[in-house]
Amino acid sequence: MATRHLIARALLVVLIVAAPSAAQSTRVEAIAEGQAEKAKALGVEGPSEAEQIIRRVLSSPLLSGGDGIYPWFGSIYGGTGLAIGAGLLKRFESAAYLNLHSGMSLNNSLMMRGALASPELWRGKLQLDASAQWMSARGVSFYGFGQDSDARQRERFDFAPVELTGNLTIEPRRYVSLIGSHSFLDFKTTRYVTRFPAEADAPGQAAAQAVLVGYRAEGAGASGDADREQVKPGSESAEVP
């Protein structure tokens, strides 16, 4: 009798211990099956669309200083409105580079510009660079000369300059630079013809008459400042021969 009681107790203990183990195995198998199902639906982990757009903007040559195509925006000429376009920047060894960009403004004005710099010579103390620019600015306002200008006498012209500039920069010492430059400017102006006939009767708007004016200028200069400033004819102060 005692032996039977011992066997019964042993079987009871075995059942009590085995039940949690079986339940634990079942839970582990269920979790493994669930993870396997999720793994089938997973894709390649990566940035979202918004993050990709931000990365493209931050990788622009204007922000990162690298090479490639970049967006351009600004103003082609005073009074032509906001302009947008694109450019291409390519850097070479020894601070040489090639930069091309073009744009179009809200009033259909156009601009194309290119700049090229040679590698630094003479142990980095000498460099040559050149730039060329073509522009077609539409509807530039002109109010007269100096104190005789009057808002009521405004006339509008299409302004199309072509400008070529070459610079020679010498840096004999640190923070000291000498710049010699030569520029060529050629432009023509055409009296702006409005699309609206009613404006032709306004004061100073002889829209029916097209006047062509050409002007050429060459100049050379030297400067000891590191800043390069190019003087361009303004719509309110340029003399027309």
Per-residue pLDDT of the chain (241 residues), as tens digits, is 566 666 666 666 555 655 555 555 677 677 777 777 776 666 666 677 888 887 777 776 666 667 888 889 899 998 899 999 999 999 999 999 999 999 999 999 999 999 999 999 988 899 999 999 999 999 888 888 888 788 888 888 899 999 999 999 999 888 888 999 999 999 888 887 665 444 444 444 433 334 444 455 556 666 654 444 333 443 333 333 3
Cβ atoms < 10 Å from Cβ of 15: 9
Tokens 């008459």: give the residue.
Answer: 209
Cβ 217 vs Cβ 239: under 8 Å: no
Written as one string, the DSSP assignment of 162-204 is EEEEEEEEEEEETTEEEEEEEEEEEEEEEE---S-GGGGGSTT
Kindly state the DSSP code that residue 121 receives in the 8-state scheme. Answer: B
pTM to 2 decimal places: 0.58
CA pair distance 13, 191, nearest whole angstrom: 108
| 60-114 residue pLDDT tens | 666 666 788 888 989 999 889 999 999 999 999 999 999 999 999 999 999 999 9
Report helix, strand or coil for 215: strand
Please state the domain extents for the chain: 1-45, 61-223
